[in-house]
Chain A
Amino acid sequence: MSQSSFTERNLHILFPLPAIIFVAMLMVFPVLYTLFLSLTNWNLTSGAPLSFVGLKSYARVLTEPRFLHALTRTFVFTFFAVAIEGVLGVAIALILNRAFVGKSVAKLLLLLPLVATPVAVGIVFNLFFDPTTGLANYILTSVGLPQGLWISSAASVLPSLIIVDVWQWTPMITLIVLAGLAGLSNEPVEAAHVDGASEWQILRYVTIPMLMPVILTAMILRLIDALKTFDIIFAMTGGGPGYASETLNIMAYKYSFEYFRMGQSSVILVVLFLVVFGCSLGIMKLRTSSEI
């Protein structure tokens, strides 16, 4: 058998091979390795070698109230952040889609948060939210409102973090929806005008349904990101006060790099992986069913 004929016969395997190897090494291997670690008791503080313990780590972590709180918190944070970003992002895109003076400046300013580094954003907002010296309380006081504790109180830390996430990521939804709006055909809108539909009716029954696939795509991207949010929370609160802003990702970090319980940390990461995977699948299904 000549070599060239072997190559020719197996082109369909050989050509995608580099890509497959790349994906296997950089994506599949880490996931499988995490899964393997989650079945071990690897714990650096004990000094003992790694040993296989089956589902023991799962039983221990999944029944811990701290884990359940972190799981709930991850969902609450993601739900409110993505919902607010969705509504605001679409509204801003619709406004920016109209002609007005200073539109390009407004567009530029609105997109600025998107290019800021999350850790830097976190540090700036930390100064902003400081209860004693921060600008947020200064503004509240100067308009006669009572001062808040922002990220310093268990009750207000999550809403404060959601505000920061919304500030940073709403522009992303705006950007995607704006691109979607640019690609929409004008004919259905004109037809609705001719039929005597009001502006609200056109928005509600024509523009939004036509935009739905784009909006959902933007939401999926945000959802996946929000579930995994780490940088902003870590830079601002590190999961505190206490565990009041600890999401799954932060908890996994603490378990790995502060408690050095690598096995149990992997359990948390496997759960987070499943959560992200499940949510993405759900929304993708929703998207397919909403396509016209």
Chain B
Amino acid sequence: MRKLLVAALVILSSLWLSSNTMAETKELRVLLANHPYGDLLKAAIPEFETATGIKVNAESLQEGQLTTKLTTEFATKSSSVDVFMTRPLQEGKMFYKNGWYEPLPGFDFSDYPKNVMSVATFGPKSYLVPLVTEWQVLYYRKDVLKDAGLKVPENFTELEATAKKINSDSLAGFASRGKGAAAVTQLSSYVYNYGGLYLDNGVAVFDAKPAVDAIRFYGKMLGNFGPKGVTSMSWENIMPLFQAGKIAMWTDASVFYGQVVDPAKTQVAAENVGIANFPAGPKMNSPFIVTSWGIALAKQSKNKELAMKFLEWATSKELAAKGMLSNITMARSSVWEDKAILAKINPGLVETRAYAAKNGNPLDRPYMSAVGEARDLIGELVIESINTKGESVSLEKMAKEKVAKVNEILQDTGEYGK
């Protein structure tokens, strides 16, 4: 019995000792997104580990699940996350308000454009480093347009006429996201080009005529020329159809370009896929250009020094250059000025970015804490408009109701009029 006790004590104490030494080894927990840049970081982490001796435990999650996981861990104060990828437009305000971001006073932000930094900064401090930018473009089938003797549409009137002409039972003339909340980001450029906005200085205004007209036009295009069942389609449903050659024109974020020209993933030859500026609307041409992903330090991290080291490495110019060469459109300005890099990436991406950077809008959704709920409400308008092919008689009334609801939410969260 005595021997057994001694043995148990020895085992227990050695376990305790080893757990203590574990704590002393430099370790970080990093949460990444299932995004091409997240994948690139994950693959490069062994280099960081060898160079610094810091062990990195990286987890990759789909974007919605990443927000849920971070929120649950931070809200229950049980998190051991040190560094995480974050979507500034979707969760930035909420994370900032709850104090989950660590400010980054020592970071050199000089390589980031001002409009990109606008969503990373709250008050005088910056809380996240922008990683990737996206802007809206028009993807189109060069062969289809050529066969029909049509040129690439440059405005909404031409877009409609072109879609009408090439639409058939086997080929949808036009596609864009139709799945309620998911459509809100892609609808935004239509709203801007009609002269409307989702929010104006913290007040919902998408019941104004320009915005409602834009929603009608979006519904008319998708209802008449969109793929079947478009009201349940987000990009993950539309992209495979485009790759299968069943869609002629598609407006969505620039981030998908790499995948629609990847011969391993598409049945349409890369030389038949075109990328063009988003068409102009009746009022202007101001497509969204947004910081879709950033990276931040967790406020409750116990290893902030090590975490900062990781963050600096993950946002380095070298990795940004690597990202660019994998068709990831990085947020750093310098990589877009580096001739060696520009020579290797698609000129269509360079041109559409230059256009959007000059004329674009830095938001693609209502910028507020409760953005998920607001997107669902606007999404209802999108679905109504698509189902009625833009002819809905109750769209104005519905828009007023949704605006009232969004304003109520803004008041609830203390953001109304701010």
Contacts and interface: CB of A to CB of B under 8 A. Distances in A.
A132 B98 contact: no
A152 B94 contact: no
Nearest to A133: B244
B94 to A, nearest CB: 5
Contacts of A45: 94, 97, 369-370, 373, 409, 412-413
Interface string A42-60: 0111111000000000000
Contact of A133 (B231, B241, B372, B380): B241
A87 B180 CA distance: 37
A260 interface: yes
A199 interface: no
A46 to B, nearest CB: 5
Contacts of A133: 240-241, 244, 246
A152 B383 contact: no
Contacts of B373: 45, 258-259, 261
Interface residues of A, number: 28
A242 interface: yes
A127 B117 CA distance: 41
B232 A132 contact: no
Contacts of B231: 152-154, 240-242
A43 B180 CA distance: 23
Interface in B332-375: 369-370, 372-373
Contacts of B414: 46-48
A167 B373 CA distance: 33
A53 B68 CA distance: 25
B179 A240 contact: yes
B115 interface: no
Given A132-B241, A240-B179, A260-B94, A46 B369 contact: yes
22 contacts: A45-B94, A45-B369, A45-B373, A46-B97, A132-B227, A132-B241, A133-B241, A150-B229, A151-B232, A152-B233, A153-B231, A154-B231, A241-B180, A241-B383, A242-B380, A242-B383, A243-B380, A257-B72, A258-B64, A258-B372, A260-B71, A260-B370
Given A45-B94, A131-B228, A240-B180, 14 more contacts: A45-B370, A132-B241, A133-B246, A147-B228, A149-B228, A151-B232, A152-B232, A154-B387, A242-B379, A242-B380, A257-B72, A258-B372, A259-B372, A260-B94
Interface of A: 43-48, 130-133, 147, 149-154, 237, 240-243, 254, 257-261
